[in-house]
Every structure is written in structure tokens, then in C-alpha cells.
């Protein structure tokens, strides 16, 4: 044990010494909207620009599937972008709780005996509890009202005494917390009964009434508004456009940057199986019976009443396109369930044991997998290729020999692609998650020009039957994109890893290794006037005398965002750039697991 401990300390020291030589180090940790922070350099010049332009989900540190970002509001601090109703907003009117002069003032107009407020929305949310919160401070008025655009969802907060006032009948709970300097975080938990919702706030002169009598004059200070699902207020997350937020997923235990291609969940009502979009045969649905992988009480119970039961939805598919069908399922009494696709496909069946977490490919020989999400929940997947264009039927069946059996279900998805990506929630229409992109331009000073080293640690434990072109990984390039170096994986059927070079627009793969198992890999390539050397997990893959492109490398990015390929589902654990070519011994040390 002492010897192993000593060895681990030596490895840690060697790694630290090497990282201290790096010009850019990215380890998934800090982030904000549009930005993933680098560790080195510390002045922000190496921070990555991040875009996705859509919502996404991740597995958080508690192992739960959650929306990113969890704050569903846009312009959480720029309240002048909200709609006004007999009110106005003065921006940057006072010091906010975070110490910056960014808090706004919501001011009444002079219209007497009426309501004065600002609002934003609408938002499409499930019929489940959600939390509206805002930081507020007294100015001319003592109270703030906060809720949806209905009186039954409102709570009044006393900003003089720091107390909760009147609550509407649809309010589950409310609280107020002092954060100093006269500021309070006002929290209103609402029992949501409609999928379309607005968030509304405004000053009030008395508890329980939105109407201000007499001659209105003045207002309240507000900052940091948030809407999040659930019955607990999450930590405040600031937003403007809201969607360009990096997803740090904990699928591998430690945080990894999740990078995925654009995908569309073609199912509607992916969590509401009692909806008419789902056809039930010999089965019934009881909604919201247990806690799902999201941590909310929103998983449905399926009760079968025959041995040929099915829970089915049909979608349009295209001949020759591969689709992946998935859902989160948990056993009650069924023991096993089946995923089946037919019509426009050769009938394809997968069987999933919800007791021991195994998957078996049956009729049609589809690719199947099952992933443990904890607390008895599994994500079952089936991948098959359509043989004709038309309407395909995807359905669940208990496969139990008993006439009556039960299981739980949540988060169904069918997507065009050869492997399952992160869950995409839907309601009345299909939803598209745009591809993740993380890159940095104009950093020639941080990239070795005639010599250098690239390093990336990638986790591909969660990807199944990966197909597509590549490579996808860590890339440096010139401003034209015609010259680049990239290390990563092509994600072909036999898990190819390689070093790729684009020289004057011509791309070639070098130093390729094949037949790699799923898992975590550390890849490093050094380049210089002597050529390239490539290491994976402490082993030299090979060398080539091919010279690096003669160009000014100014940009870096993940998943070949500079080319035509989207990310193929990388989990990036870390990435490092050196301005010098490391020695073979250093490359071996850097890539040793």
C-alpha cells in the first residue's frame, strides 16, 4: 500500500511539473454562459468560447439528469428586456447582491388604482412544481409580488421586515432570505397546472394586493431572477441568451465537458405517457408515481393487462437512416421489458433485464445496450436502420409471461443516429438540441508554431456502436482552416484513434491505432522539424517524418468544430497545449493512466 501511495505521488508530481510547462490547460471546472474557463493561462486569454444555441441535459454531480442551464429565464439581470405593464425599468440603478452596479429598479407609472409590473415568457414547462425566485430590495415600496400571471400563483414579500406575506392558492411554499445590505432572495414555489407560463414581478404598497391606490410613484430594486423546475430553489445562475452554457457531465464520476452532435428527439410528450400521443394496447398509464432520473416525481407507472401489451408512438423515418430508440425504465414487477421497432424497419427487438441490468438482441439483430443510472433506473437503447421511407412504430412491451405486470418509464427518445445521445425532453413537438462547440481563436502566442505538443483525455465509456467520420478530438489550425493538426478518434466501428494533419487543404490520417475498447484514453502528439510522435495511454503508437504544416497556428477547438464534422459524443476530461515538443519520456508520463 505504501509503495502504491508513493508511486501515485510520483505520478502526480510528474504530471504537475509537466502542466506547469503548458501554455494552455483546460480542465472542466468553471464556466458561465458562452465561456468555459481554462486553468492556464489565468488571465482569461485561454478561456474557450462555447456555443450550442439550444437547451441540453447533463448528469449532475448527484447523478441526476438535469437541464443546462437550470435557469429557464433569459435576461435574468437585464430586466429592461422584460415586457412592462404600466411600469418602467431603470438599469444599473444600485449595487446588486454580488457587489456590482447591475441591479435594476422597477418603477410604477402614474396610473392610479391599477397594477404595475414587468413580465417575461411564455415558457413551455411540464405540469410539475417549479420555483420562481428573485433578489429584491425596498425602495419607495415595501412589498414585491412575484409569481405567474395569475393571482393564485402570487406571493407577496415584505422587504421592510424580511417576511413572507400573502400566498395564492397554487403556491406550495414561499420563503425569504436576507443576503445583506437590504437585499432578500424571494422564493415562490408554485404548483404548476398549465404548460405555458409567464413570470411576473412588481412593486406593491400593501400585502395581498397588486393594485396601487392613489398616485403611484416609485418602485423596488430587483436583480437575479430565476425559474427552475422542482420544488427547491437552485443556486442562482445568471443568463442572457441562456442556451450557450457548457455541459459538465458527471457520467464518468469526475466532471467532463460533454460535446455532442445536433440531434432531434422525434417523440412528442417524451415524459407524459398518459398523453394521447402514446397509443396504449393492453396497458394503462398512471402518471407521476415515483421519482425519475431527473429527481422529480414525474415518472409514470405502466400496468399491463395482457401478454401482448404495447406502449407505442409512430414517427416518420427515412430509408437508409439509422435510428436509436431509448428510454429510462425501472422494474416494478415486470422483470424484463422489450423495445421493438417495426414498419419501415425489419422488425427489431431488444430485451432488457431490469433486475440485473443486461440487454439481449433478439429478432432483427439490432444493436442494444443498457446503462445504469442508479436507484434501479436503466436507460435501455436499441439501434436499427430503416429500409423504407414512411411511418415507423416504436413501442415498449413488458415481455412478462404474467397477464398483469408493472414497470416505470420516463424520458423516451428516438433520434437519427447510430448511438444514444443525452436526453432531449419534448412536449407537443419534436425538439432539436444543437451541436456543442468549444473553441478559441486568435491565440497564436499560446500555440507552438514550429514545434509543440497536443494532449487530450477523452472518456468514451458511454458511447455505443459509434459511427461517423473524423477524427474528432483536439485540433489546432491556422485562420484559413487549410492547415491543422488534430488528435482524436474517428469513431468507426472498431474504435480508431489517430493523428490527423491537414496541409494546404489536403487531409491525411497518420499513426492510426484500431480495435480499441470503450473507456478512457489519454492521447498526446508532439510535432517538430523531426516529424510527429504519437502516444496513447503511455504507449508509443508510432512516429512519422512528415513535417507539420508551415502555417501560423492561431485557433484551437474540440471535435473538429473547424471542419465539416460535428462532435461525436466526446467526454473531454482535460486538454493541454505545449509550445514545445515533449520528449518521449514526457509523452509517456503525460499519457499514463
Q: How confident is the model over 247-274, as a mean pLDDT?
A: 92
Higher-pLDDT residue of 302 and 215 is: 302
The predicted structure's pLDDT at residue 495? 61
- CB crowding 179-212: b at 16 or more within 10 Å, else e: eeebbbbbbbbbbbeeeebbbbbbbbbeeeebeb
Of the pLDDT bands very low, low, confident and very high (cuts 50, 70, 90), residue 197 is confident
What is the pLDDT at residue 440? 94
What whole-number percentage of the chain has pLDDT above 70?
92
Residue with cell 412536449: 427
pLDDT for the residue 593: 66
Could you read off the pLDDT of 429-454 as tens digits, one per residue?
Answer: 999 999 888 999 999 999 999 999 99
Q: Are residues 393 and 312 in contact, defined by beta-carbon separation less than 8 angstroms?
A: yes
Strands (E), 230-282: 248-249, 256-259, 263-265, 279-281
User: Please, which pLDDT band fits residue 568 given cuts at 50, 70 and 90?
Assistant: low
**pLDDT at residue 261, as a whole number:** 84
Question: Residue 510: its pLDDT value, please?
Answer: 82
What is the SS3 assignment for 436?
Answer: coil
Residue 380 has pLDDT above 90, yes or no: yes
Q: Where are the beta strands (DSSP E) in 205-345?
A: 211-212, 219-229, 248-249, 256-259, 263-265, 279-281, 283-290, 299-304, 310-317, 322-331, 336-342
| Cell of residue 392, nine digits | 415507423
Note the Cα 328 to chain centre separation in Å. 17
Quick: pLDDT tens for 275-299.
999 999 999 999 999 999 999 999 9
| Domains of the chain with bracketed CATH | 2-51+436-590 (2.60.120.200), 79-229 (2.60.120.260), 263-433 (2.60.120.260)
Query: Is the confidence at residue 16, as pLDDT, over 80?
Result: no
Which uninterrupted H or E stretch holds 60? none
What is this structure's pTM? 0.90
Phi, psi torsion values for 360, nearest 5 degrees: -130, 130
Q: DSSP assignment of 499-529, as one string?
A: EEEEETTEEEEEEEE--PPSSEEEEEEEEET
What confidence category does residue 215 fall into, taking pLDDT thresholds of 50, 70 and 90?
confident
Segment 394-417 shows an average pLDDT of: 92
The pLDDT, as a whole number, for residue 493 is 47
pLDDT of residue 335: 93
Average pLDDT, the chain: 90
Amino acid at each position: 500500500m505504501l509503495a502504491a501511495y508513493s508511486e501515485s505521488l510520483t505520478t502526480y508530481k510528474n504530471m504537475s511539473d509537466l502542466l506547469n510547462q503548458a501554455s494552455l490547460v483546460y480542465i472542466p471546472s468553471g464556466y458561465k454562459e458562452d465561456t468555459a474557463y481554462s486553468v492556464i493561462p489565468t488571465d482569461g486569454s485561454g478561456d474557450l468560447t462555447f456555443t450550442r444555441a439550444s437547451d441540453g441535459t447533463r448528469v449532475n454531480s448527484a447523478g441526476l439528469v438535469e437541464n443546462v442551464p437550470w435557469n429557464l429565464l433569459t435576461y435574468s439581470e437585464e430586466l429592461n428586456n422584460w415586457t412592462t405593464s404600466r411600469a418602467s425599468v431603470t438599469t444599473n440603478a444600485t449595487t446588486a447582491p454580488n457587489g456590482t452596479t447591475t441591479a435594476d429598479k422597477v418603477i410604477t407609472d402614474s396610473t392610479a388604482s391599477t397594477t404595475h409590473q414587468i413580465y417575461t415568457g411564455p415558457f413551455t414547462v411540464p405540469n410539475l412544481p417549479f420555483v420562481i425566485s428573485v433578489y429584491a430590495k425596498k425602495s419607495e415600496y415595501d412589498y414585491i409580488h412575484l409569481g405567474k400571471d395569475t393571482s393564485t400563483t402570487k406571493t407577496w414579500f415584505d422587504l421592510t421586515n424580511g417576511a413572507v406575506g400573502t400566498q395564492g392558492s397554487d403556491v406550495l411554499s414561499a420563503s425569504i432570505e436576507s443576503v445583506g445590505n437590504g437585499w432578500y432572495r424571494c422564493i415562490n414555489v408554485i404548483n404548476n397546472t398549465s404548460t405555458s407560463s409567464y413570470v411576473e414581478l412588481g412593486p406593491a404598497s400593501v400585502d395581498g394586493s397588486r393594485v396601487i391606490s392613489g398616485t403611484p410613484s416609485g418602485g423596488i430594486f430587483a436583480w437575479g431572477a430565476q425559474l427552475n423546475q422542482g420544488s427547491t430553489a437552485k443556486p442562482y445562475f445568471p443568463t442572457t441568451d441562456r442556451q450557450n452554457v457548457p455541459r459538465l457531465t458527471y457520467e464518468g464520476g469526475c466532471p467532463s465537458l460533454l460535446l455532442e452532435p445536433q440531434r432531434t428527439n422525434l417523440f412528442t410528450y417524451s415524459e407524459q405517457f398518459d398523453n394521447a400521443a402514446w397509443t396504449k394496447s393492453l396497458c394503462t398509464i398512471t402518471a407521476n408515481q415515483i421519482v425519475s432520473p431527473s429527481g422529480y416525481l414525474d415518472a409514470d407507472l405502466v400496468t399491463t393487462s395482457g401478454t401482448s401489451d404495447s406502449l407505442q408512438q409512430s414517427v416518420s423515418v427515412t430509408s437508409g437512416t439509422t435510428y436509436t430508440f431509448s428510454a429510462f425504465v425501472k422494474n416494478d414487477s415486470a422483470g424484463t421489458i422489450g423495445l421493438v421497432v417495426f414498419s419501415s424497419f425489419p422488425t427489431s427487438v431488444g430485451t432488457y433485464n431490469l433486475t440485473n441490468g443486461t440487454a439481449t438482441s433478439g429478432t432483427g439483430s439490432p444493436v442494444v445496450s443498457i446503462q445504469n443510472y442508479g436507484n434501479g433506473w436503466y436507460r435501455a437503447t436499441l439501434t436499427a436502420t430503416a429500409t423504407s421511407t414512411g411511418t415507423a412504430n416504436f413501442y415498449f412491451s413488458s415481455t412478462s409471461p404474467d397477464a398483469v405486470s408493472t414497470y416505470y418509464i420516463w424520458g423516451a427518445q428516438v433520434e437519427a443516429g447510430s448511438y444514444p445521445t443525452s436526453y432531449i425532453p419534448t412536449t407537443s413537438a419534436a425538439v432539436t438540441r444543437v451541436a456543442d462547440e468549444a473553441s478559441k481563436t486568435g491565440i497564436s502566442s499560446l500555440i507552438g508554431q514550429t514545434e509543440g505538443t497536443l494532449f487530450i483525455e477523452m472518456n468514451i465509456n458511454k458511447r455505443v456502436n459509434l459511427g461517423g467520420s473524423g477524427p474528432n478530438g483536439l485540433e489546432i489550425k491556422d485562420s484559413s482552416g487549410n492547415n491543422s493538426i488534430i488528435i482524436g478518434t474517428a469513431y468507426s466501428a472498431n474504435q480508431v484513434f489517430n493523428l490527423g494533419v491537414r496541409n494546404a487543404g489536403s487531409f491525411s490520417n497518420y499513426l492510426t491505432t484500431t480495435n480499441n475498447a470503450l473507456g478512457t484514453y489519454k492521447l498526446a502528439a508532439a510535432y517538430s522539424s523531426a516529424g510527429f510522435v504519437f502516444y496513447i495511454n503511455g504507449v508509443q503508437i508510432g512516429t512519422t517524418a512528415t513535417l507539420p504544416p508551415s502555417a501560423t497556428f492561431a485557433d484551437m477547438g474540440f471535435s473538429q468544430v473547424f471542419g465539416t464534422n460535428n462532435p461525436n459524443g466526446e467526454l473531454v476530461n482535460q486538454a493541454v497545449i505545449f509550445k514545445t515538443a515533449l520528449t518521449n519520456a514526457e509523452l509517456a508520463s503525460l499519457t499514463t493512466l
